[in-house]
Amino acid sequence: MKSTYLRFYLATVGTFLVALASCLIIVGSSSHNLKIDVIEGSLRPGLHLARDRLLRVPSRDMARVLVELQPIFAEPIELISAEQLSQAAHDRLASGREVAFWMQDWDPWTQDWDNGYAVIALSDGWFLRQGPFVEDVYDSWSPNMHWVLAFLAVLVLCGLAVSLSLHPIIAHMKRLQAAALAVGEGNHHARVAERGDAYQRAVARAFNRMVGRLTTAVAARTELLRAVSHELRTPLARLRFRIELLQEADDDEARMRHAAALDRDVSALDELVEELLTHARLEDGHHLQRVRMDVFSAVEQIVERRRVPKVHDHVEVTIDADSALRVAADRRLFARAVGNVLENALRFAQQEVRMEVRAHGVDMVVIAVLDDGPGIAPALRERIFLPFETSAETDAVAQSPNRGTGGGNDDSGESGGGESRAAGEGHAGIGLGLAIVRGVLQAHGGRVEAGESPAGGGAIYMYWPRASMED
């Protein structure tokens, strides 16, 4: 960061110096040309008079006339040939000037010069030269130089102002760099102080939000890996145990029984993996394939698939829906979310699960799943939607005053009333069922809430975006 600041500072200073040098060259050149023009104009009358006198006499008398004219001039005058003429004087005469003046040892920075000469053309390749001028007729410092100094002072002040204005920005960038390095090294608590002007506060706020989301994502992935390793261990152990029993079976009936149990374990494992993959996709921002759906028909199909004969025969499922309602949703994710909520309700219901579908405002449709089971403690109605919150959800059921027992255990090891309300059937305890429901609803621009049903049991309200006529 220091090198960046130093490079910018040196670039600024270098720019100022180049601008100053350019200004000096331009001003010096224009001042030099102006000075030559002025000197030539002042010397023209005397040289013109001398040339007229010399052209009236024969060539043999020119030396005598020069001696007679010398007292008129302060500087020496003499006749020179074209070979003795300087290139500068030759160029000025060639440009059409009658009198040419040039300077020797001229300094463009101070505009000072030591020896100057003036010439005027005679005839036959001869020239009348006056000089050297040993003293400048003007001050060494041109009045234009004061403007150069003023410009230099302005540039210096601008440089200081730029440096002072950049200092807080560079300091803020240093803080961002330090925080970014700390996050990269694993310190997810590193943050940038939100101070400074509005722009710096906005950048710091955005950085802190980014780190917060990154921390949440990393924690979720870590928890997902932990849960996966834990949850896969039990079904894999059951599969190994089933295989051993199948190998040791003596008759076809025992083999068929163990094969059926093995098939149930494989199905449960498949469902567990599918839940984990769905949760991961939602965390990564799953692309939705929205379609216009008839809510009543979709809910009827979900109930038919999720209500298992003999397992849920003691629970009556009723649907009260407006058949005209439509939602814009991903068909697969809609079925997954509503199905997860229904399975939880079936698991904890005593006798009835009621599903109500109503319009909520002009742009939402609410699907309420109500059961007459043990319910959910009010203090934990928000936590049940967090991933892997199985202990909190079990406590929610345990603390309910009208807690029921639910179903019993089956051959696949699935538990009953003590299970989490967020767990899906066949993989209770992982705590992803309702977390997936929330993820699906949020991806659709909706929301999900928990409450108490009129029968005192649990109530889950899912708010879906209503389909417009164009969908």
pLDDT at 148: 64
Q: What is the pLDDT of residues 264-299, one digit of tens each?
A: 778 877 877 777 777 667 766 667 788 999 999 999
Mean pLDDT in residue range 31-59:
79
- Does residue 55 register a pLDDT over 70? yes
Confidence class for position 123, pLDDT limits 50, 70, 90: confident
* Tally of domains in the chain: 3
Q: Express as a percent the part of the chain with pLDDT over 70.
A: 75
Q: Assign 3-class secondary structure to the chain.
A: CHHHHHHHHHHHHHHHHHHHHHHHHHHHHHHHHHHHHHHHHHHHHHHHHHHHHHHCCCHHHHHHHHHHHHHHCCCCEEEEEHHHCCHHHHHHHHCCCCEEEEEECCECCCCECCEEEEEEECCCCEEEEEEEECCCCCCCCCCHHHHHHHHHHHHHHHHHHHHHHHHHHHHHHHHHHHHHHHHHCCCCCCCCCCCCCHHHHHHHHHHHHHHHHHHHHHHHHHHHHHHHHHHHHHHHHHHHHHHHHHHHCCCHHHHHHHHHHHHHHHHHHHHHHHHHHHHHHHHHCCCCCEEEEEHHHHHHHHHHHHCCCCCCCCCEEEEEECCCCEEEEEHHHHHHHHHHHHHHHHHHCCCEEEEEEEEECCCEEEEEEEECCCCCCHHHCCHHHCCCCHHHHHHHHHCCCCCCCCCCCCCCCCCCCCCCCCCCCCCCCCCCHHHHHHHHHHHCCCEEEEEECCCCCEEEEEEEEECCCCC
Q: Which token pair is 233?
A: 């261990």
pLDDT at 29 (0 to 100): 52
**Alpha carbon of residue 16 to chain centroid:** 33
Q: Report pLDDT for 3.
A: 56
Tell me what the mean pLDDT of segment 8-27 comes to: 65
Segment of 20-34, 190-204, 313-327 carrying the highest mean pLDDT: 313-327
List the beta bridge partners of residue 355: 319, 369
The residue from 287, 309, 332 where one domain ends is 287
| Pair (275, 307) in one structural domain | no
Same domain for 375 and 386, yes or no, is yes
Taken as a whole, the chain contains a residue count of 471
Looking at residue 20, its pLDDT comes to 65
Query: Does the residue 337 lie in any domain?
Result: yes
Residues 258 and 344 in one domain: no
For residue 52, pLDDT beyond 70:
yes
Q: Is the pLDDT at 211 greater than 90, yes or no? A: no
Q: In this structure, are 280 and 316 located in the same domain? A: no
Query: What residues make up the domain containing 29?
Result: 2-145
The CA angle 33-37-39, to the nearest 5 degrees, is 115
Does residue 127 sit in the same domain as residue 225? Answer: no
Residues 300 and 446 in one domain: yes
Q: What is the pLDDT of residue 367?
A: 95
pLDDT of residue 410: 39
Give the type of residue at 19: A
Q: Residues 42, 121: one domain? A: yes
| 457 lies in the same domain as 414 | yes
pLDDT at residue 182 is higher than 80: yes
The pLDDT of residue 222 is 78
- End position of a domain, from candidates 272, 287, 302: 287
Give the CATH number for residue 233. Answer: 1.10.287
Mean pLDDT over 314-320 rounds to 91
Of 217 and 448, which is predicted with more confidence? 448
* pLDDT, average across residues 191-203: 83
Structure tokens belonging to residue 213: 């989301």
What is the residue-averaged pLDDT of the chain?
Answer: 77
- Measure Cα distances from 57 to 54, 71, 267 in Å: 6, 19, 131
pLDDT for the residue 27: 53
Reported as half-sphere exposure (CB side, CA atoms, 13 A), residue 233 has a value of: 7
Is residue 64 domain-resident?
Answer: yes
Angle at 399 between CA 395 and CA 403, to 5 degrees: 105
- pLDDT, tens digit, for every residue of 326-370? 999 988 889 989 998 998 899 899 999 999 999 998 899 999 999
In a domain, 183, yes or no: no
Q: Judge whether 228 lies within some domain.
A: yes
Regarding whether 393 and 250 lie in a shared domain, the answer is no
Q: Quick one: 314 and 233 in the same domain?
A: no
Q: Please tell me the least confidently modeled range out of 6-20, 108-122, 181-195, 243-257.
A: 6-20
Please indicate, yes or no, if residue 379 is contained in any of the structural domains. Answer: yes
Asked whether residue 338 falls in the same domain as residue 441, the answer is: yes
Residue 56 lies in a domain: yes
Q: Are residues 233 and 292 in the same domain?
A: no
* Last residue within a domain, chosen from 235, 257, 287: 287
**Stronger pLDDT, 151 or 309, i.e. the higher one:** 309
Give pLDDT tens digits for 399-450.
444 433 333 333 433 333 333 444 333 344 456 788 889 888 988 899 999 9
pTM for the model stands at 0.49
Who's near 305: CB < 8 A, 6+ residues apart?
335, 339
pLDDT reported for residue 389: 63
Instruction: Give the pLDDT band of residue 470 (cuts 50, 70, 90).
Output: low
Whether residue 348 is contained in a domain is answered as yes
In a domain, 173, yes or no: no
Tens of pLDDT, residues 134-179 = 655 444 444 455 666 777 777 777 777 777 777 777 888 888 888 8
